[in-house]
Every structure is written in structure tokens, then in C-alpha cells.
Amino acid sequence: MKLHLTIAEEQDLLPIHEASITILSETGCVFHSEKARDTLKKHGAKVTGKTVYFPENLVRTAMATVPSTFQWRARNATFSTIIGKGGFRLAPNAGNIYVQDLDNGRRLAQLDDVRQIQSIHQMSDVVDFVGNNPCDPSDIDPSKRHLSVTYETLKHTDKPLVSYFAPYNEQPEETLQMVALAFGEDDVLKNHHVVGTSLATTSPLSYSADVLRVMTAFAEHNQPVMITTAAMGGISGPLDLMGIALQQNTELLAGTVYIQLVNPGNPVVWTPSSTVAWLKTANYSTGTPEAMLPNILVLQMAKDLYKIPTRSMAGLTDSKTVDCQAGYETMQNLMLAMLGGAQIIYEALGVLDNILTTSYEKIVIDEELYKRNARIHMGMDSSDLALPLKLIQETGGGGEYLTHAHTLSNFRSMWSPTVSNWDNYSEWENSGFEDAAIKANKVWKERLLNAPETFLVPEVDKDLTAFIESHK
């Protein structure tokens, strides 16, 4: 039986929805885009200034068109995946400014780091998605970063793709065009879901012009939109856990309705990822155990009431280095998100310092934490007593199981670590006192050594290079 965490009883979900409808219809949600407001008004919403008021019937009709599952197609069909069923999916970080490793310490990220981290993800046996923005390259002109990051991602990976968030002018369309070139198929964007975007509300109750520009472009091209709510309780959300959950649910409904009006049936993934601010300094903080509680409730709303795929920021920590704090805060957030219903897990590959830094070593360590939680989520079968009864009776008092045929035929199927050391002290000492970070350092370097030079055929590489040159 699989393990699950829930916050609310089933009968408590509908009142939360109804409270969200009250907010949407009476308080409204601000949309900083005339195009978006016009679309909403055309379909029956009331618009006053930049505030949009949603009637209940508009929300109900639009939500009915959101798919509960969809295929996210990869350039390598082996990696294509169905979102909304079939277990967890692990995805890259988004927006980290710094990188750090044991060799070079902490530094501003550069394009080489983007290239390396994408290759590390590609070579991982547990990372399902590539792309996004695992670190923002400081050595590239911000107005052209989307071109360079998208190219390096397409060159060094062929797993399901999340786009670099590029909201200005024609940047969303340029990103989509590059992805279409890489697939090399007519109407690939029209006929398949091949690249998603990750974007965030501006809490409380607002969508920025930049976010709406990207959201609209991806919906118009039939591509998945993953909406993140990241309020800070006490600053951009109520200092009340139920209030945080209610505000998130309301914001997510508003964005989802708009996407469905642009393109009915367009995939949407809900990403409740709020926290409680550290009000001693009024700073963003991710280490609190309270943060995931309202997020779990909204994950429950998405899965059980709305039947919408889910995602959550999960591997977060306030720690500035790969230490004990990083371990227990990351494990806390990962476990709560995965047991609480998040189907796509992101911000869980090397995150440090409240999403400011990506650690190369922690990428590998976090993969093990993810594997641990995936195994915990599987639970155990408690329905069959016949086999254990037989084994115990066969062995009897004073016996042993080490040489039993059942042990010998099953020991390889039991969970084992990748970087944790389970040897005794003497064995660990003889191996040079190698801790998890040192071992992880070796793992990511080995992946880079074994990574292919490119996943692009020469003709496509030439087309992408020419496209970039023509848009500089």
C-alpha cells in the first residue's frame, strides 16, 4: 500500500473551492495585460481597471476542460512520459544565480555551468526533465540568455523539456521556434506537448504582464503551463496556514481559467509552493516545517477535487552549504511534497540558500534523497501473510536468514544508497574518510566525462545556430 499525506477531509475541499469563488467574484484578481483582460471579458468576466472578477459559471466551465493527464513528448521517445499518473517525475531548478562545488567554491553561474548541469541531468538515472534554468548565466547578455540557454539544453539533452523563462517582446515565441527546429517536424507544437513553461503568480491575487505574455504564448501553441504560487506568509500572503492555502487555490484557479479560455484543453500543472516568511528579518525562508502544510492542502485540492496534475518545489533549504541543515531541511520538504501529492518534483537538485545557489555535489546527494522518498512512498504489502509465515516457521527459533534461499534470491531488490556510506568505521577509514559530498563530487565529474558531445544532428545544429545569429 502506497503512503499518502492529506490535510483535509474530503468534505472540507468543496468549501475551500467555494471560498475561492467568493474571492474571485467579489475581490477579483489583477491581470496586468490588456490582451488577457479582453479575453476574460469576452467570455463573461467583469473587468474594472486591471481587476478581473470571475463568475462561478465561467470558472466551472473552464475548469471542466483541463486535462487530468497528458503526454509530455521528448525528442528521444524513450523518455516521453505521461503526466498525471504513473509516479513521480524529477525536474530541474529554476532561476538560481550562483553555483558552487568543492573545487571552486561559490560563484556567479556562467553558461558553462548551464551546459554542465544539463549534461549531469541528462546522464542521471532519476532526473526525468531537463531545461528550465538550473542556474542563470551571468556571462550572457540578459536579453539573449534564452537563446544561449535553450541551445545548450537542446544540444546536450533529449529528455522532456521545460523552457527557460524568457518573457520580453518576442522571447517566448523565439524559444518555441527553437524547440520546434530541434524536433524537426511539421506542426510539432500544434500536435504534441513538447515544452512546458514554469511561471509564477505575483501574490497576492495578481498576474504580471511578463507572466501573462509567456502564459499566453505557450497556451496559444498548445504547450503545458505550470503555474507556481510562492507567497510568503506574513508578507505576500496571510500569516495563517489556511489563508495561504486559500489564496494559492484562488490564484491558481484564476490562471487556469485564463489558459483554458486561450486554448481549451491546454495542459496545466498546479504548483503550490508558498512558505511562511522569516519575519525576524522579513526574508524568504524555505526551511520551516510549516511551509509545506498549506501546499499539501492545495495539492489535495488539485488531485482530488479538480483532477489536475501537480508539481511542487521540494528540495529546498536555507542552508548555505552542504551540511546537516541542508540535509534535514531538504529531506523534510522532499518527503512532505512527495507524500503530499506532488507528481512533478522540482527545485530539488542541488538547491541551497533559498534557491539562490545550485550545488554540484548536492545535485547528486538530492537524487539519493529523492530515491529514498520514492521508496518510502511505495509503502509495503500488508495483505499477504503466507510467505512470511512460511519463512518464519521454516527458520524457527535460533535459526538464521542470511543463507536462506529467499534472502539469496531477493537481496538485490532491496533499496541501497548511491552516495551514503553504510560501511563500518574501519572500512570507511580505510577508504580515506570519504563523506557523501566527496563521493558526489566524483559522481558528477564522471557523468560529464561520459556525456555525449551533442544530441543534435549536424543539420539541426546548423539551423539552430543560424536562428540564434539572426536574432542577436
Which pLDDT tens digit goes with each residue over 345-365? 999 999 999 999 999 999 999
CA 304 to chain centre: 20
Measured between alpha carbons, how far is 301 from 401 in angstroms, rounded to an integer? 46
In this model, does residue 383 exceed pLDDT 90? no
pLDDT at 309 over 80: yes
Q: Please, are residues 95 and 294 in contact by the beta-carbon 8 Å criterion? A: no
- Whether 231 contacts 294, CB under 8 Å: no
pLDDT reported for residue 382: 86
Q: Is residue 295 part of a domain?
A: yes
Percent of the chain with pLDDT over 70: 100
Q: What is the pLDDT of residue 1?
A: 62
> Shortest CA distance to 267 belongs to which of 69, 13, 22?
69
Non-local (6+) Cβ contacts of 30 within 8 A are 50, 51, 52, 205, 206, 207
- In order, the DSSP letters of 1-29 are ------SS-GGGHHHHHHHHHHHHHHT-E
| 380 vs 444, more confident | 444
| Residue 11 burial by Cβ neighbours in a 10 Å radius (0-12, 13-18, 19+) | exposed
CB-facing half-sphere around the CA of 41: CA atoms within 13 A: 14
State what percent of residues in the chain have pLDDT above 90: 95
* Residues near 448 by beta carbon (within 8 Å), at least 6 away in sequence: 116, 119, 120, 123
Among 443, 286, 453, residue whose Cα is nearest residue 360 = 443
Between CA 325 and CA 251 the distance in angstroms is 32
Would residue 60 count as lying in a domain? no
Cα separation, 51 vs 30, in Å, equals: 4
Would residue 19 count as lying in a domain? no
Grid cell of 441 as nine digits: 563530487
SS3 label, residue 367: helix
Q: What is the DSSP letter of 87?
A: S
Please write the tens of the pLDDT for every residue from 140-157: 999 999 999 999 999 999
Q: Is residue 2 part of a domain?
A: no
Q: Are residues 45 and 25 in contact, defined by beta-carbon separation less than 8 angstroms?
A: no
Q: Is residue 373 in some structural domain?
A: yes
User: 3-state DSSP call for residue 111?
Assistant: helix
Range of the domain at 154: 70-378
Does residue 448 lie within any of the structural domains?
A: no
User: What are the phi and psi torsion angles at 358 (to 5°)?
Assistant: -110, 125
* Single pTM value for the model: 0.96
Q: Does residue 343 form part of some domain?
A: yes
Number of domains in the chain: 1
CA–CA–CA angle 144, 149, 155 (5° rounding): 130
Cβ neighbours, 10 Å, residue 201: 26
Q: What is the pLDDT of the chain when averaged over all its residues? A: 96
Integer Rg of the chain from CA: 23
Q: Shortest CA distance to 117 belongs to which of 79, 144, 91?
A: 91
Please write the tens of the pLDDT for every residue from 250-259: 999 999 999 9
Cell of 290: 510549516
Report d(CA 397, CA 388) in Å as an integer: 15
- DSSP secondary structure code for residue 15 in this structure: H
Number of Cβ within a 10 Å radius of residue 235: 17
pLDDT confidence band for 472 (50 / 70 / 90): confident
CATH number at residue 251: 3.20.20.480
Judge whether 179 lies within some domain: yes
Closest alpha carbon to 59 in 240, 196, 258, 324: 258
Cα dihedral 252, 258, 264, 268 sign: negative
Residues in the chain: 472
The yes-or-no verdict on residue 384 having pLDDT over 90 is no
Instruction: Give 124-155 as a DSSP string.
Output: -SS---EESBSS--TTS-GGGHHHHHHHHHHH
Q: Give the pLDDT confidence of 391-437 residue by residue, as tens digits.
A: 999 999 999 999 999 999 999 999 999 999 999 999 999 989 999 99
**pLDDT confidence of 3, banded at 50, 70, 90?**
confident
pLDDT at 86: 86
Residue 138 is placed in which grid cell? 551571468
pLDDT at 221 over 70: yes
Q: How far apart are CA 387 and CA 280, in angstroms?
A: 56
Q: What is the pLDDT of residues 322-345, one digit of tens each?
A: 999 999 999 999 999 999 999 999
